[in-house]
Amino acid sequence: MGMTMTQKILARSAGLASVEAGQLIEGKLDLVLGNDITTPVAITEFNKAGLSSVFDRDRIAIVLDHSTPCKDIKSAQLCAVCRGFAKQHEITHFYDVGQMGVEHALLPEQGLTAPGEVIIGADSHTCTYGALGAFSTGVGSTDMAAGMATGLAWFKVPSAIKVNLTGRLNKFVSGKDVVLHLIGMIGVDGALYQSLEFCGDGVAALEMDDRFTICNMAIEAGAKNGIFPVDDKTIDYLKGRVERPWTAFEADPDAVYAREVTIDLSALRPTVALPHLPENTKTVDEAAGMPVQQVVIGSCTNGRLKDLREAAAILRGRKVADGVRCIVIPATQQIYLDAMAEGLIADFIQAGAAVSTPTCGPCLGGHMGVLSDNEWAVSTTNRNFVGRMGPTSSMIILASPAVAAATALTGVITDPATV
């Protein structure tokens, strides 16, 4: 019986010739990730277990991104715990204020993720790195603690859903629209503990930033991970970033899938997800006219350079609507610098937007744009759960950078093709 991409990576990690769906394995880890919220919990468990050393200081990454620069005393104390641990164990990849970025944009940029690798992170959106052909998945802080100490983790091998992509995206349609469309098709539990494996001729038409966005939101369909095959665009992205050997895995022709789904990229329209679930999708035409008070462009889902370019192209020479707060958050320091060099930051500020240092910030209701009672926001983030960005009466509409920027200009959900 053939194996999927994910199953082949897990078999290599476990030192086995083959694995099958449902099998329990212990796999070697290539990277263990934590942030300023989850790492302190892992450190507590690490110390409680009497552990005194990490398995490999070069294969642990700690990124202070959720509430940094620190917004209050509690966040400052959590960051201090991380700093102390990183110093004690000489963690190579420790990213603090001034160097850090939103973790799931930062790690690929820094070359810490590569094809064929097994990566766990104490953050649910660790599945982002499947865009590079890696197996990456979110875990709890206890698993992070064990991973830091042993370099091992237990996995149940997932079955897979084959997502066949055809055609090419039209103007103002991006990876965010693809993944929202997919989640709308199969639901937030449609891929529960399964691998979303993307294939088809449409893959070649997607930029790497689109693939990162799609894999980032695999968890919003309940998936264990999302993964793309390695192609020329992947290899180009890796050049100058990853110097260590890596292995690209392809699914066997007779690989078994639990389900197959086909998406014609050329048929997609800009898509939004209304409160309070990512599966509550509508095309921008169906949601047009809904008023909002805030627009957020950024996050590990859509804070990359391509996203900022798309938003700036719409905002350039125009003004954010009265009564609307538009917040732009480049995902890493390098993206910030690149956006400055291209004049994008000036475009945002001249349009009346606020530009933040890299941070998760408002995505989880942390800081840099928390909502008030009964306010509505359009956000390029990945979750629109009740109370995610403010009080339970606040509402979040998920959208692409293009839709978010167009909405910032009008104050209502707007098709970017119309502004």
SS3 of 78-96: the string is HHHHHHHHHHHCCCCEEEC
pLDDT of residue 116: 98
56 and 153 together in one domain: yes
Last residue of a domain, one of 219, 242, 263: 263
List Cβ neighbours of 357 (8 Å cut-off, separation of 6 or more).
Answer: 69, 97, 329, 336
Domain with 298 in it: 272-418
Structure tokens at 185: 């098709």
292 and 320 together in one domain: yes
Name the pTM for this structure: 0.95
pLDDT along the chain (419 residues), means of 10: 95 97 97 97 96 96 94 95 97 95 97 98 97 97 97 97 97 97 96 96 96 98 97 97 96 95 97 96 96 97 97 98 97 97 98 96 89 96 92 96 98 96
- Residue 352 maps to which CATH number? 3.30.499.10
List Cβ neighbours of 379 (8 Å cut-off, separation of 6 or more).
Answer: 294, 295, 296, 299, 362, 363, 389, 396, 397, 398, 399, 404
pLDDT of residue 363: 86
3-state secondary structure of 162: strand
117 and 185 together in one domain: yes
Distance between CA atoms of residues 153 and 197, nearest Å: 22
Q: How many domains does the chain have?
A: 2
Structure tokens at 345: 């930051």
pLDDT of residue 381: 96
40 and 106 together in one domain: yes
27 and 112 together in one domain: yes
Question: What pLDDT, in 10s, does the model give residues 103-118?
Answer: 999 999 999 999 999 9
List Cβ neighbours of 176 (8 Å cut-off, separation of 6 or more).
Answer: 213, 271, 301, 302, 380, 398, 399, 400, 401
Read off φ and ψ for residue 287, nearest 5 degrees: -100, -5
286 and 360 together in one domain: yes
Q: DSSP states of 304-323 as a string? A: SHHHHHHHHHHHTT--PPTT
244 and 328 together in one domain: no
Last residue of a domain, one of 202, 233, 263: 263
Distance between CA atoms of residues 330 and 297, nearest Å: 8
Nearest to 4 by CA among 16, 18, 15: 18
Amino acid occupying residue 270? P
54 and 86 together in one domain: yes
pLDDT of residue 1: 77
Nearest to 405 by CA among 389, 397, 416: 416
Last residue of a domain, one of 263, 291, 321: 263
255 and 335 together in one domain: no
321 and 205 together in one domain: no
308 and 259 together in one domain: no
223 and 290 together in one domain: no
